[in-house]
Every structure is written in structure tokens, then in C-alpha cells.
Amino acid sequence: MTSAEQGVLLDGKALARKMRGELRGEIEALVAQGLTPGLDVVLVGEDPPSQIYVRNKQRSCERLGIRSRVHRLETTTPQSELEQLIRDLNQDDEVDGILVQLPLPKGLDAKPVLELIDPAKDVDGLHLINQGRLLAGEEGLQPCTPLGSMALIDSIGYDISGKKAVVVGRSNLVGKPVAQLLLQRNATVTMCHSRTQDLAAEVGQADIVIAAVGYPELVKGSWIKEGAVVVDVGINRRDDGSLVGDVEFEESQKRALAITPVPGGVGPMTITMLLYNTVDAAKRRRGAHLNV
């Protein structure tokens, strides 16, 4: 790459559009054979961002022909009532995916609720069984943001095998599962976190950088190795209301082979992979006899 060139944009919106188009065809084929995939979302309380996320998920489902239902519960809902709802959804054969929108209001404990979800319906891939399957390299439902990140890297035909990948952030939601997915694809993976001693040096060695921290522009453009692929998962709001990622975008793009924008990179892919997981869960659970 010459200095006048810039890394290509890993356009999450465009890839999401393409993948959703393919998924729509698959859903039509399922519906024609009597199987309409269904996603049930549980929303407790009035958290404004959660309301928006849930609305977006519902709209995306409807556009593709996935049946979607939102269960809205009061902030004061007792833990036992929330858990009973999950048990009921587990028993309902028309429910293929169950998603509990986080965070839950104060006073409710998310952990036992997530563990109650039938792993076969756990479209967020956060159940311990599914996390364990991922660690063991076995099939199961996998978390949406890591899947979306991998799909973005694959979209440019990049060969992950044997490359050095650095994952910044070690959450159960993003950092740890994306590191496992990279490892499955034969990358040599380093995980960095808040106690990492020399983040610049670690990132500087990486052919693939995944940043999932939640700290604006923590990863500097000058750290990025020439020709690296950079996936910025972070979404941070500036004082002026605009969004910025965990990576310094412009400087990084000058060095990178490819880089995701924020917004418009990983974000649209996360919902797409939720739709994908819902269809996958439906096929695995009740579509064995179908022709898709």
C-alpha cells in the first residue's frame, strides 16, 4: 500500500443489507413449509436506549418475515415473575429465540435469568452452555457482535489463518468470544485488557485488531501496523452527541488494509447476526425435516 492509499471501509450497513437479503430468501422458504421463525424479546423497565434497541430489533424481524413479540414488564416486576416468563417462553414451541434486553433495572439479577433460557433458544449466545460450547469448539449459538465482527473480516476475503490477532477488551459479551472465534480460525490470539502493560506494543504487532473497550479513541492510529485489519466494536458518545469508536479512525485508516467505521460498522452486523441466530435456532430445533 502506498502512503496515498487508504484502507478499505468495512461497510457494516452494506454487508448487513446483503446478508439480510439472503436471509429473507431462506425465511420465505421456511415459511412456505410451515415454519415461521419467532423471536421473543423481554424488555423490563423504561431505559430509553433499550427501548430504541428493542424497537430496531422488532422492525428488523418484521422486515424479514420473522415473527417478533416484545414482552414489556414494569420496572417493579419481581425476579420470580420475570423468571416465570422465561420458563413459559422455553415451553412455547413457536418461540425460537429468547432475548432479554440488558441492562435490567436495579433490583433484578440478570445472571439467573440468562441461565434459565433454554440454550437452544439462546440467540444472544450468552448462556453458560453456549459459552462452553464455543470454548470447546463445538456447535452452538454464538454471540452476535463477535459473529458480526468475523463476517466483516470475511467480507474482504481476508485469510485469518496464521495471522496475529489482538483483541482489546475481555468481556463475556465481545472480547472473550471474538478471541475464541479467531482462535478457531487459526489466528494467534493475544487478549489485552485494562492491566495490559504496553498496549501500543501489542497492537503494533497485530495483523488483526479488534477493539471492544468502550473508551473513545483509546487505540491510536500510530499504533496500527501497516496493512492490518481493524474492527472497532466500541460505541462512545461525545459531548456533542456524535458517536466515536475505540480506535482513532482517520490515522488508522491511513495504515490499515481495512477498517470499520463507527457508526455503520459492527453495529448493523450485530442485529443481522441476531436475525441469523433466530433462523438458525428455528432450523435446528424444528426444521430438521425441512428442505432449506
Cβ-based neighbour number of residue 278 at 10 Å: 29
Binding mask 141-160 for ligand NAD (x = CB under 6 A): ----x---------------
Q: Give the separation between CA 99 and CA 87, rounded to whole angstroms.
A: 13
Shortest separation between residue 244's beta carbon and ligand NAD, angstroms: 10
Which residue of 167, 174, 206, 209 would you call a contact of ligand NAD, by CB under 6 A?
174
Scanning 35-43, 55-63, 123-131, 194-202 for contacts with ligand NAD by CB under 6 A, the matching segment is 194-202
Nearer to ligand NAD, 66 or 173 (CB): 173
Q: For residue 105, what is its C-alpha cell?
A: 433495572
Which residue of 173, 208, 229, 256 would you call a contact of ligand NAD, by CB under 6 A?
173
Q: Give the separation between CA 282 and CA 23, rounded to whole angstroms.
A: 13
Cβ-contact 40, 34 below 8 angstroms: no
Shortest separation between residue 12's beta carbon and ligand NAD, angstroms: 8
- Kindly report the CA angle at 53 between 175 and 48, in degrees rounded to 5? 110
Q: For residue 74, what is its C-alpha cell?
A: 414494569
Which residue of 234, 255, 259, 282 would you call a contact of ligand NAD, by CB under 6 A?
234
Q: Give the separation between CA 11 and CA 153, rounded to whole angstroms.
A: 10
Alpha-carbon Rg for the chain, nearest whole angstrom, is: 19
Query: Contact between 267 and ligand NAD (CB under 6 A)?
Result: yes
Shortest separation between residue 81's beta carbon and ligand NAD, angstroms: 27
Scanning 37-45, 93-101, 171-179, 276-284 for contacts with ligand NAD by CB under 6 A, the matching segment is 171-179
Residue ranges in 202-221 that form contacts with ligand NAD under rule CB under 6 A: 212-215, 218
Q: Which of 250, 268, 247, 221 is nearest to 11 (CA)?
A: 268
Nearer to ligand NAD, 77 or 272 (CB): 272
Q: For residue 188, what is its C-alpha cell?
A: 494467534
Q: How many C-alpha atoms does 231 have within 13 Å on its Cβ side?
A: 33
- Which residue carries 466483516 as its cell? 152
Which residue of 37, 38, 146, 169 would you call a contact of ligand NAD, by CB under 6 A?
169
Is 57 an annotated catalytic residue?
Answer: yes
Is 6 an annotated catalytic residue?
Answer: no
Which amino acid would we find at residue 181?
Answer: L
Size of site (CB under 6 A) for ligand NAD: 25
Residues forming contacts to ligand NAD in the complex (CB under 6 A) are 145, 168-171, 173-175, 192-194, 196, 199, 212-215, 218, 233-236, 266-267, 270
